[in-house]
Amino acid sequence: MQLDGSVVIVTGGASGLGAGSVQSLQEAGARIAIFDKMEGPDANDDGRQRSYRVDIADEASVARAMDAVVSDFGALHAVVNCAGIVKSCPLYGELGRYPSELFNQIIAVNLTGTFLTMAYAIERMAANEPDTNGERGVIVNTASIAALDGSSSIGYAASKGGVVSMSLTAARDVASYGIRINAIAPGYMDTNMFAGLEETYRSKLISGNVFPKRLGKPQEFGALACHIIENPYINAATFRFDAGARV
């Protein structure tokens, strides 16, 4: 799918991986709808970018925002799901058991939120006229290497593991509509999630990279998301994006 002129929703687009994706999509000529609980950037003068206050864990909020995007832009062609949260806590330790309310919160945002945006987006993409490749839409979800190796948080690992398996199943479900679904599993990225970590711990994590030994840049993530959208042969896959890191 060609990004130039296409309408793309970026969840969590006000910061982190979402903001990096927005930048890459802008450079590719896409029209962008930013979904975020935080205040997003102001709409562009040319009307090619708008921000919507959305809680992706709330179905009514997602439904309203999807309708608004189609009304404002006239269509929906792709989604890059970047909204997510992480809070580290062992299943059991000095502070006791892992709080069930924390587990439910992480699942609600990272997994249920991804499901809701996919389901409502696909419903609208299915009405698109297919392009020359027979495509009607593309979705790129954000998983994590925590889904593939391990994590300091059982809730986060569960949510991102769910994103991986859900993306594959969803891709098979909607293939007949000409809609592709893939996931990216990033490693240690230069976002707010890592900014609050102790420097010695950050350095220890980065040392596990094969090369380069640094945090990934959100714009690099965005560049991969753009390639996945534009390459019609990429489908039902999860891409490690981690400089060779292993947890």
- Banded model confidence at residue 200, pLDDT cuts 50, 70, 90: confident
In a domain? residue 211: no
What domain range includes position 12?
7-189+218-238
Tens digits of residue pLDDT in 65-96? 999 999 999 999 999 999 999 888 899 998 89
How far apart, in Å, are the Cα atoms of 89 and each of 32, 85, 113? 35, 13, 21
| Residues that are catalytic | 156
In a domain? residue 35: yes
Tens digits of residue pLDDT in 135-158? 999 999 999 999 998 777 899 999
Residues 6 or more apart in contact with residue 218 via CB below 8 angstroms: 16, 17, 18, 19, 20, 21, 23, 189, 190, 191
In a domain? residue 213: no
Per the model's pLDDT, the better-predicted residue between 36 and 194 turns out to be: 36
CATH number reported for the structural domain that contains residue 123 in this entry: 3.40.50.720
Give the mean model confidence (pLDDT) for residues 179-190: 97
In a domain? residue 46: yes
Tens digits of residue pLDDT in 217-227? 999 999 999 99
N-terminal to C-terminal alpha carbon distance within the chain? 34
Give the pLDDT of residue 163: 98
In a domain? residue 135: yes
In a domain? residue 206: no
Give the pLDDT of residue 45: 65
Asked if pLDDT for residue 214 goes beyond 90, the answer is yes
In a domain? residue 1: no
Peptide bond between residue 130 and the one before it cis (omega within 30 degrees of 0):
no
Count of structural domains within the chain: 1
In a domain? residue 201: no
